[in-house]
Amino acid sequence: MTTPTILDKIKTYKLEEIAAAKAVRPQDEIEAEAGDAPPVRPFGDALLQASKTGYGLIAEIKKASPSKGLIRQDFDPAALAEAYASGGATCLSVLTDTPSFQGAPEYLGQARAACDLPVLRKDFMYDPYQVAEARAWGADCILIIMASVSDAQALELEEAATRWGMDALIEVHNREELDRAHTLNSNMIGINNRDLNTFETSLDTTRKLAKFVAPDGLIVSESGLSTPDDLAEMARYGARSFLIGETLMRADDVAQATRDLLANPMKAGGV
């Protein structure tokens, strides 16, 4: 019998969480709340526009992680969102998973209210109920992790996002997942440099996979990125948007760290 991976363990408790949430708040109730949420902010378009002249940055608000434990002691989602926005971030990613990342739904609302940036609900999504939840909390985009869902689930989640006017970031970390991602409508492909089974990171993942992304794909390189040189290196492979959390979350001055990271973008089409 194989040992459950971190992803397996997360999926087990996440499905229990979804069932419990449905018991407390039925689908029609959460959908009514989603319908009353503030208008969606354009997530993918914001990244696309930013990447034409500089880099698109999805700056992550993350208190902890399974592999690193507590990342930031003085954790204030609203203040962090303001700092990211003033530092030049394009979008935000907010962890809403509690057991593994010490995230919370209210963090998403607090961050979004503090700035004008579009916000991704960063969580492990399995059910359209969670998509309605995300919209009810104010999210503008969801994450679909191909390693964690079937093709049918991925399509169901994407269709739910479309229904609510939201974007979907499709996350992959190998060629098989990328090929599966190409069957979906979203052209926003997140290449995760972190192996979700071992939690080890390697920028080679983006180097290897970027060339196989469809020509109209918007590549977001995720994880393991910490310096302007890292970003320039990934840009050489066609990734001009990035999802970065830990490096910025550990900075004393988050706004300045964000500014420094984005200061010298490689010109589009440059080598």
Q: Tell me: the pLDDT tens digits for 118-148?
A: 999 999 999 999 999 999 999 999 999 999 9
pLDDT, tens digit (0-9, with 9 covering 90-100), for 147-164: 999 999 999 999 999 999
Question: Which stretches in the chain have pLDDT values below 50?
Answer: 270-271
What pLDDT score does 57 carry?
98
What's domain 9-262's superfamily in CATH?
A: Aldolase class I (3.20.20.70)
Signed CA dihedral, 21, 22, 24, 30: sign only? positive
What pLDDT score does 139 carry?
98
What pLDDT score does 269 carry?
60
What pLDDT score does 244 carry?
97
What pLDDT score does 271 carry?
42
What pLDDT score does 266 carry?
87
Q: In angstroms, how far is CA 145 from the centroid of its own chain?
A: 10
